[in-house]
A and B are shown apart, each in its own frame.
Chain A
Amino acid sequence: MRRGVKFDPVSLASGVVIAALGVLLLIDSAGGFHVSVGWMGVVLTAAVGAIFVLSGLHRGNGGKGP
């Protein structure tokens, strides 16, 4: 009997966000354009914050947490 594989939206969203950060770093390192420290701080904070929010929302809907 085959068991259904559970889909994890947090991993998907986190993977997309981290890959996007990697692309940003790639373009910066390759000389496409330069992101200043201030803007990079905003981007990184937003990315990490989005992952935390997604994780928290999913946990709340999943019935694990309050």
Chain B
Amino acid sequence: MNDDTPIMPGPEADEPTEPQESPTREQADDGRDRPRRLLRSSSDRVIAGVSGGLGDYFGVDPIVFRIGFALSIFFGGLGALAYLLLAVFVPTDGDPDATQRLGRRLQGAGFWRAAGLVLIRILAIGGLFGLAGGAAFAVALGWGVPTAILIIVIGALLALAAFRGGARWLIPPAIALAVGGGVAAAANLDFRGGIGERTYHPTSLASIPADGYRLGVGRLVVDLRDLNWRQHPVVNLSTSLGAGQSNVFVPKRVCVVATTHVGAGESEVAGELNDGVDVNHSVGEGTTSRPRLVLDSRVDMGQLRVINSDRASIETPGYGPGPLHTDTAPLRAAEAKACGAG
């Protein structure tokens, strides 16, 4: 330290002090008090206070932005991405929250490191989905008991770790395993029938397996339109599919008597539509009309369609839900005619 250095007067000696920060709010033209910069609201928030902050900044009811963000999810999801970026990089008007701390870390880390952090998080989320899918797959392959035991052991380890400071990092993977395995077990998901596309065109009753047709994952098609229905006026058939699409085609003059179950997805039987979870569908009960198909069919997850049409193609059957399909009224009319004739 040099003792000869002259001591200069500090700015506080003869200069007026500058304010540390400019005011955060100003009077707008319409007389309302608005913030000078965009900040997330700490008081008016549903998720991260983005809509509350935007509403405050623009002098608009935040519900407008909330509706906009919510609607944007159904139109490409750009709004959700914008919300996420605003949540991370726009500070709050109160104490810094978790997303703001994340934003600061990303800003301070530099581009490549920030990109790496984002990539790691994406991979972590993907890993959780992978774990859930793996658990579901294991249960669907018949390993439900080992999967359940694994989940119990992880839960017990987590509980024991609580007395040694905790192991919260174990919670997300354990939840992923439990959710994947639980959904697969509840849906009775069964992948043991194989994977792929199976198309069957039985021409006689003898060629139909006694225990029906079964597929694990994929598309199962049973086309009964080449069957000799005069020779076999009543046909019993059962089909089972784990996940995917199951289609059964019958001539339109055949009455469909069906008992179907869809664990999660949609069911369309002779033009009647149902969807949701645990969809049980009965069609044509008590009918004795001939020719008649008595169908027992289940799909654990996906779509089940019984199409009574002579002209529907296997690849693009039509007559179903979706923008490229046509109305199912012809199928319902054909079913009513076929089942009412007896």
Q: Is the CB of B168 within 8 A of A11?
A: yes
Q: Is the CB of A18 within 8 A of B178?
A: yes
Cβ-defined partner of B278 (8 Å) among A15, A24, A36, A66:
A36
Residues of A within 8 Å of B, CB-based: how many? Answer: 40
CB-CB under 8 A from A44, the residues of chain B are: 178-179, 182-183
Q: Is the CB of B159 within 8 A of A19?
A: yes
| Chain B 28-47 interface 0/1 with A at a Cβ cutoff of 8 Å (1 = within) | 00000000000000100000
Q: In the assembled complex, how far is the CB of residue A31 from the closest CB belonging to chain B, in whole angstroms?
A: 10
Question: CA A38 – CA B186 in complex, angstroms?
Answer: 8
Cβ-defined partner of B186 (8 Å) among A14, A39, A55:
A39
Q: In the assembled complex, how far is the CB of residue B136 from the closest CB belonging to chain A, in whole angstroms?
A: 11
CB-CB under 8 A from A6, the residues of chain B are: 165-166
Q: In the assembled complex, how far is the CB of residue B178 from the closest CB belonging to chain A, in whole angstroms?
A: 4
Q: Is the CB of A37 within 8 A of B183?
A: yes
Q: Is the CB of B159 within 8 A of A37?
A: no
Q: In the assembled complex, how far is the CB of residue B336 from the closest CB belonging to chain A, in whole angstroms?
A: 31
Q: For the side of the interface on B, what is the size category? A: 35 or more
Q: Is the CB of A5 within 8 A of B182?
A: no
Interface residues of B in 265-284 (CB under 8 A from A): 277-278
CB-CB under 8 A from A25, the residues of chain B are: 139, 144, 147-148, 151, 178, 181-182, 185
Tell yes or no: B164 within 8 A of A by CB.
Answer: yes
Residue of B nearest to A41 (CB): B277
Q: Is the CB of B97 within 8 A of A38?
A: no
Q: Is the CB of B185 within 8 A of A29?
A: yes
Residue of B nearest to A17 (CB): B155
Q: Which one of A15, A17, A34 has the greatest number of beta carbons of chain B within 10 Å? A: A15
CB-CB under 8 A from B152, the residues of chain A are: 19, 22-23, 26
CB-CB under 8 A from B150, the residues of chain A are: 22
Tell yes or no: B156 within 8 A of A by CB.
Answer: yes
Cβ-defined partner of A15 (8 Å) among B42, B144, B160, B165:
B160
Whether A35 contacts B145 in the complex (CB less than 8 A), given A15-B159, A18-B151, A25-B178, comes out as no
Q: Is the CB of B178 within 8 A of A47?
A: yes
Residue of B nearest to A14 (CB): B171
Tell yes or no: A40 within 8 A of B by CB.
Answer: yes
Q: Is the CB of A29 within 8 A of B155?
A: no
Cβ-defined partner of A19 (8 Å) among B155, B164, B175, B182:
B155
Interface residues of A in 9-59 (CB under 8 A from B): 9-12, 14-26, 28-30, 34-41, 43-44, 47-48, 51, 55
Offer 29 A-B interface pairs, CB within 8 angstroms, sorted by A: A6-B166, A7-B166, A11-B159, A11-B167, A14-B158, A14-B174, A15-B156, A18-B151, A18-B154, A19-B155, A19-B156, A22-B150, A22-B153, A23-B152, A25-B185, A26-B145, A26-B149, A26-B152, A28-B185, A28-B186, A30-B144, A36-B186, A37-B187, A37-B263, A44-B178, A47-B178, A51-B175, A65-B98, A66-B94
Interfacial residues, chain B to chain A (CB-CB below 8 A): 42, 94-95, 97-98, 139, 144-145, 147-168, 170-171, 174-175, 178-179, 181-183, 185-188, 263-264, 277-278
Interfacial residues, chain A to chain B (CB-CB below 8 A): 5-12, 14-26, 28-30, 34-41, 43-44, 47-48, 51, 55, 65-66
In addition to A18-B155, A36-B277, 17 A-B residue pairs with Cβ atoms within 8 Å of each other are A5-B164, A8-B165, A8-B166, A11-B161, A11-B162, A11-B166, A18-B151, A21-B155, A22-B148, A22-B149, A22-B152, A24-B182, A25-B151, A26-B149, A29-B139, A37-B187, A66-B97
- Considering the complex of A and B, which 7 residue pairs feature the smallest CB-CB distances, nearest first? A8-B166, A29-B144, A15-B159, A19-B155, A15-B158, A40-B186, A22-B151
